[in-house]
Amino acid sequence: MSRVTPDLSFLLDKTSESLTARMSAALADLGLTARQYCVLDKASGGEHTQGRLAEEALLDKTTMVTTLDGLERAGLARRVASPTDRRARLVEITPEGEALIERAATVIQGVYDEVLGVLGDERDALVTGLTRLVEGPLRETASDARPRRSSRTG
């Protein structure tokens, strides 16, 4: 019935929304949001400034502020002064944070396995394809092709 075959944007929207809902429900038991887990995971095992972390997680810097506020309140991460740039903050995961990442990863892997279980050969291709889209044609889109505020006229 669709004139555009198939409706890729619809499929991505609905799978994304639905999977995020599952993740959120599963992580809620651990007191984590999906975004907090994402940031926690990317921050772990390396030194990252707040800004660098935002880039990796493809989040706006203001979104990163509130995300880190939450993680700090929960005692899972800390902002520490960068020794080389007094404007910047390094994000440090606490031992509690590291421990929780491990538990969360197990939970998430369970969700993924359950969801992806219905796929056969498509499983790898799906992941590969999405990765190539994120790193390729959909990479720079964030600040270019997006009509954000109504004030962004030009």
Q: Which residues bind DNA (CB under 7 A)?
A: 13, 17, 24, 33-35, 49-52, 54, 59-66, 68-69, 79, 82, 85-89, 142-143, 146, 148-152
The residue assigned the tokens 């810097």 is 61
Measured CA to CA, the distance from residue 80 to residue 129 in angstroms comes to 37
Regarding beta strands 77-81 and 89-93, do their DSSP bridges make them parallel or antiparallel, or are they unpaired? antiparallel
**Cβ proximity to its own copies, 28 vs 81, nearer residue:** 28
Which residues 29-58 are close enough to bind its own copies by CB under 8 A? Answer: 34, 38, 41-42, 44-46, 57-58
> Least CB distance from residue 65 to DNA, whole Å?
4
Which residue type is seen at 63? Answer: T
Say if residues 39 and 50 touch (Cβ distance below 8 Å). Answer: no
**Cβ proximity to DNA, 120 vs 145, nearer residue:** 145
What six digits make up the tokens of 21?
């809902």
Q: Is 108 in the site for its own copies (CB under 8 A)?
A: yes
Question: Of 80, 81, 99, 127, which one interacts with its own copies (CB under 8 A)?
Answer: 127
Q: Which stretches does DSSP call E strand in the chain?
A: 48-49, 77-81, 89-93
**Cβ proximity to its own copies, 57 vs 76, nearer residue:** 57
